[in-house]
Each structure stands twice: as C-alpha cells, then as structure tokens.
C-alpha cells in the first residue's frame, strides 16, 4: 500500500524547507485572486521559488485555482494556468468548471484536484469529476468517518481529507459582514475589525470566538475550534485514503512545523506497524495539545458526528 501523502499549506516561501524537513510531502500555494482561503499569499515569483525548493527536496506543489470565479476573471484563467504549467507545478486545485475547461484547452496534461470544500460528500460526485478529468477529490469537512471510508471504497479517484486546522463555516463575497450583526443589534459583535488577521465574531452566549478574515474573495468566518484527529487516523489509513491535509490558515510557522512532525511520525508508525501507532497516538495528541493556543480548543470536527445540514 502506498504511504498516505502529508499535505501542508505554508505561510511563505521561508516555510518550505523547514516543513519539508519536518515531513511534509506536498504543499498548497497560490494567490488570493485565484485561490480560496490560502494560508499565505504567493505571487508568481514566489510560486516558482516554492516549486523549485520543494522539487529540490523531492516534494510536490499544488497551485490553488479554486476561487469563486465571476465573469471579469474568466479571461485571466488561461494565462494563469499557462504560468502554473511553465512553473512546473504538480497539480492544479479547482472547484469551478471554468478552470477545468480552460485547463483542458491550455494544459491537457496537468493533473487536476477537485475541491469545493462543501460538495465532496459522496462518491458519485467524486467519480463524476474524475470522469471529467480530475485525479483527486477533496472531501467536505462536514462528513463523518463512516462516510469517508465508504467514499474511499467506491471512489475511482484519489481522496484527500483535512485532518488538522480550522475549517470555514461561512463565506460571503461581500466584505465587512460583521456590520450586519452590529446593525441588527445581535448578540455577536466584531472585535478588532481593522486588524486583518485578528478579527473575531464573539458569541458571548456560547463563549465562542469565530475568526474572520477578509480578502479578495470576500469575508470568511472560521470554526471556533481546530480539527485534530492525530489519534484517530487508523480507519482512514486502513481504507487507503491517499492524502491527509494540515491547514495552516491563521497559524504560525513554528506551530505548523511542530504539527507536521507529529503527523509525519503518526503516518510512519502506522506503515511500519499499526500497533506502534496505536501505542504512540495518545502521546502525539498530548504533544499537540501542549502547543495549541489557549483560545483554540481541539476537537474532532464532524468525524464522529451524524452529518446534519
């Protein structure tokens, strides 16, 4: 069985070599004009630098072209995808069919990963996009472990699952979404609105703070807790899930390196001997809990819940 890939979203070019040394197998980079909810902004020159550094370490780089595209950006896709090919990226991440159709025309040999963040909820959809040209499907964060395993058993494409980090709860193309809550006099209020990377919706009733950030794609409200299932990987490893993703959005570089090391060890232990992973997994979880910010609790997301929409 091929070892599960460990995919990490770096904050900058400076993160590539430390994360590669920590055990990352692949990276997601891009610029917000074309990519959605990126951990860091990478212009074209930085994308090239990242690819050169990663390939020098035997690692892969996937370029995010999964933004929500409106008419005014469609004419730019051909040029950007040609750039991604020339930069020697290993795959393009897409959600919009416009990207797939453009890639068919200008980059027919480029590997494509289908990622909508919400629609990858069944194996029929994964295989539909596989027949259209996608080689990988990124599953939604809101499905449980049983559904993930069932999808993997029936999928004709590679499967990617986020195993660590925050997830998006809501996106609006509009900016300053918090204005709505303040205007309505709701219980939620916006803190530090002018600080781009330090804004929260504060739900005092539930004692939750929902991180917000705004970029060219609009306003994004993120989960109050971080997913962490380093001690619950066995079912997906047994099923043969091809890729585990660590999302670095709104995290520090040091934190990402430490978490990557922990998941690298977990995966390696399992493939050496599942019993070794079983013996060490609680210790690995405890190590992450030690470095976890006090304001960001760890939980298991939807992995062990009934999926409800």
Per-residue pLDDT tens for 264-290?
999 999 999 999 999 999 999 999 999
pLDDT number for residue 194: 43
pLDDT number for residue 207: 61
- Which residues make Cβ contacts (< 8 Å) with residue 198, sequence separation at least 6? 192
Q: Quick check: 105 and 84 in contact, CB under 8 A?
A: no
pLDDT number for residue 86: 98
Q: Quote the tokens at residue 63.
A: 């370029």
Mean pLDDT by 10 residues, the chain (309 residues): 94 98 98 88 97 98 93 94 98 96 96 90 96 96 93 98 80 54 48 50 60 66 81 97 93 96 98 98 97 85 67
Q: What is the 3-state secondary structure (H, E, C) of the chain?
A: CCCCEEEECCCCHHHHHHHHHHCCCEEEECCCCCCCCCCCCCCHHHHHHHHHHHHHCCCEEEEEECCCCCHHHHHHHHHHHHHHHHCCCCEEEECCHHHHHHHHHHCCCCCEEECCCCCCCCHHHHHHHHHHCEEEEECCCCCCHHHHHHHHHHCCCEEEEEEEECCEEEEECCCCCHHHHHHHCCCCEEECCCCCCCEEEEECCCCEEEEEEEECCEEEEECCCEEECCCCCHHHHHHCCCEEEECCCCCCHHHHHHHHHHHHHHHHHHHHCHHHHHHHHHHHHHHHHHHCCCCCCEECCCCCCCCCC
Q: Is 89 exposed, middle or buried (0-12, 13-18, 19+ CB in 10 A)?
A: buried
pLDDT number for residue 174: 54
Q: Measuring CA to CA, how many Å separate 253 from each of 56, 113, 161, 298?
A: 21, 25, 21, 18
- Give the Cα separation of 151 and 241 in Å (integer): 10
Q: Where in the chain do CATH 3.20.20.70 domains reside? A: 5-167+224-299
For domain 5-167+224-299, say whether CATH 3.20.20.70 is its number: yes
pLDDT number for residue 190: 46
pLDDT number for residue 148: 96
Q: Which of 10, 87, 75, 106 has its CA nearest to residue 44?
A: 87
- Residue carrying the six token digits 């997601």: 28
């Amino acid at each position: 069985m091929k070892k599960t890939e460990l995919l990490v979203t770096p904050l900058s070019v400076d993160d590539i070599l430390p994360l590669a040394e920590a055990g990352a197998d692949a990276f997601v980079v891009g610029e917000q004009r074309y990519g959605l909810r990126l951990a860091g902004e990478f212009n074209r020159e930085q994308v090239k630098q990242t690819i050169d550094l990663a390939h020098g370490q035997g690692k892969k780089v996937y370029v995010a072209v999964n933004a929500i595209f409106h008419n005014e950006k469609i004419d730019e896709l051909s040029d950007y995808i040609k750039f991604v090919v020339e930069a020697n990226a290993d795959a393009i991440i897409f959600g919009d069919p416009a990207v797939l159709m453009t890639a068919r025309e200008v980059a027919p040999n480029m590997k494509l990963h289908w990622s909508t963040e919400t629609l990858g909820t069944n194996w029929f959809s994964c295989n539909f996009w596989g027949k259209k040209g996608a080689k990988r499907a990124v599953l939604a964060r809101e499905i449980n472990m049983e559904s993930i395993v069932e999808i993997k058993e029936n999928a004709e494409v590679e499967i990617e699952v986020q195993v660590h980090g925050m997830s998006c709860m809501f996106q609006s193309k509009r900016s300053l979404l918090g204005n709505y809550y303040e205007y309505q006099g709701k219980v939620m209020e916006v803190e530090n609105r002018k600080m781009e990377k330090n804004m929260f919706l504060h739900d005092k009733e539930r004692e939750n703070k929902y991180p917000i950030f705004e970029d060219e794609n609009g306003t994004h409200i993120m989960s109050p807790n971080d997913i962490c299932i380093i001690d619950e990987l066995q079912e997906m490893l047994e099923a043969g899930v091809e890729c585990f993703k660590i999302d670095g959005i709104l995290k520090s570089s040091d934190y990402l390196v430490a978490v990557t090391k922990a998941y690298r060890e977990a995966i390696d232990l399992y493939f050496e001997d599942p019993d070794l992973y079983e013996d060490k997994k609680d210790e690995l979880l405890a190590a992450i809990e030690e470095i976890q910010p006090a304001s960001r609790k760890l939980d298991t997301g939807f992995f062990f819940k009934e999926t409800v929409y």
